[in-house]
Amino acid sequence: MSQPFTDQQLIAAATEFGSPLYVYHAEQIAARYNKLVDAFKAHPTKFFYACKALSNINILRYIKGLGASLDCVSINEVKLGIMAGFQKDQILFTPNGVDFAEIAEAVSLGVRVNIDSISMLEQFGNTYGGSYPVCIRINPHIVAGGNYKISTGHIDSKFGISIHQLRHIERIVKTTCLHVQGLHMHTGSEIKDIDVFLQGLDVMFGIAAHFKDLDLIDLGSGFKVPYKEDDQETDVYTLGARVAEAAMEFEKEYNRKLEIWFEPGKYLVSECGYFIVKANVVKQTTATVFVGVNSGFNHLIRPMFYDSYHRISNISNPDGPRRIYTVVGNICETDTFAWDRVLPEVRENDLLVFHNAGAYGFEMSSNFNSRLKPAEVLIENGIARLIRRADVFEDLLHNQVV
């Protein structure tokens, strides 16, 4: 059921819906979610899907159906979550750098709120006192993550309230009678090393005794997923066992029980996404053979933005002789998806697939170069359904005042 799509299935989708096209595999999302649940079954654990990875409402509904909760970084994601049917206490709002009005709106919507600066914590306390429970995002200063741009726990990071400001947090909590329900951290993305989570948990348990109303510790996410053929993913089973051990020790020492939360984004939806493009032109230059496809970094920005690697297959000619290509998009500046990639011979009009394109793929797309955003299709139980139509020309003018 959760086997990857075959070339034939992907060709059928491109034939029906055209290309470029994002195709998502529902059962692969379910398999990832169920794996997490299984890995952490030794201790009460909840998973809040970080929907900034892929926020199509049909995906949100599907993930809700699996039993997950939702992590949101903007008030609009909160509203999408409510529309998708998540209960209010299943939605966690974890913004950074927003004004107090946005936090107040989240309170008026009744969702859980995570505060990420001393200034907002103070305003929150002064406004709501102990009448509305709150979580606090702590920066534990653990350096982690695959790339500086996606690493959020380091000393220069804008995220969270520094662990060194604990005394100031306590001062605000005491003065305003804040009900601190949870402590949160999120140290980055693509973290393979489970010690990062365990160290974070240690830091959190270390300060938990300062908060008498605490129910939970949220370890954020950043679970690594394999992009390259020989990549390893975060070992969630070992992590689950170690978290349960640490939690048991904490319970014994303090006679308190705390739920553990995670906020997986990429872990749930990276693998499920297949981005299908067409080779428009094969161009031999003096040094390189370029494949120019009918897409660009306006549709999949990760290679240009994060130097990320996406496996590519040529589904139109899988058995062709291997050749070396640089795969580029059509945006009018450097727009390279892959350098020196060995692929089965690419002919013009062949369909290529970028794998692991579900997370931060469509979600980060734009209309740069006045190009149209692609359609999205969800395949569930073998049935393909359009969940977002491709842009049409009029969409480019939609908000322009002519």
Ligand X SMILES: *Cc1c(COP(=O)(O)O)cnc(C)c1O
Residues carrying an active site annotation: 332
| Site for ligand X contains 94 (CB under 6 A) | yes
Q: Which residue has the tokens 């999302």?
A: 29
| Site for ligand X contains 308 (CB under 6 A) | no
Q: Which residue has the closest beta carbon to ligand X?
A: 265
CB of 319 to ligand X, least distance (A): 35
| Site for ligand X contains 71 (CB under 6 A) | yes
CA angle (398 as vertex; 60, 81 as ends), nearest 5: 15
Alpha carbons 104 and 190: distance in angstroms, whole number: 32
Q: How far apart are the first and last CA of the chain?
A: 50
Given 73, 219, 244, 378, the residue binding ligand X (CB under 6 A): 73
| Site for ligand X contains 32 (CB under 6 A) | no
Stretch that binds ligand X, among 3-11, 17-25, 46-54, 338-346 (CB under 6 A): 46-54
**Is 274 annotated to bind ligand?**
no
Token digits for 366?
């734009």
Which phi and psi angles does 205 have, rounded to 5°?
Answer: -60, -35
x-or-dash string of contact with ligand X, 168-207, rule CB under 6 A = ------------------x--x------------------
Q: Report the residue number, 125 or 265, with the smaller CB distance to ligand X.
A: 265
**Is 200 annotated to bind ligand?**
no
* Closest-CA residue to 213 (of 168, 162, 184, 256): 256
**Is 302 annotated to bind ligand?**
yes
CB of 328 to ligand X, least distance (A): 26
Q: Report the residue number, 236 or 291, with the smaller CB distance to ligand X.
A: 236
Given 40, 223, 227, 325, the residue binding ligand X (CB under 6 A): 223
Contact positions with ligand X (CB under 6 A) in 339-378: 359
CA angle (230 as vertex; 199, 226 as ends), nearest 5: 55
Q: Which residue has the tokens 């990875």?
A: 53
Contact positions with ligand X (CB under 6 A) in 253-272: 263-267
Concatenated DSSP letters for 289-335? Answer: EEEEES--TTT--HHHHH-----EEETTSTTSPEEEEEEE-SSSS--
CB of 313 to ligand X, least distance (A): 24
| Site for ligand X contains 221 (CB under 6 A) | yes
Cis peptide bond upstream of 20, omega within 30: yes
Give 205-209 contacts, CB < 8 A, sequence gap 24+: 205/246, 205/250, 207/138, 207/163, 207/166, 207/183, 208/183, 208/250, 208/254, 208/256, 208/258, 209/254
CB of 96 to ligand X, least distance (A): 8
Alpha carbons 380 and 62: distance in angstroms, whole number: 10
Stretch that binds ligand X, among 77-85, 216-224, 230-238, 280-288 (CB under 6 A): 216-224
Size of the site for ligand X (CB under 6 A): 18
| Site for ligand X contains 53 (CB under 6 A) | yes
Given 50, 219, 236, 327, the residue binding ligand X (CB under 6 A): 50
CB of 359 to ligand X, least distance (A): 6
Contacts of 261 (CB under 8 A, 6+ apart): 45, 46, 47, 48, 92, 182, 184, 216, 217, 218, 219
Annotated binding site for pyridoxal 5'-phosphate: 222, 360
Note the residues at the interface with ligand X (CB under 6 A): 50, 52-53, 71, 73, 94, 186, 189, 220-223, 263-267, 359
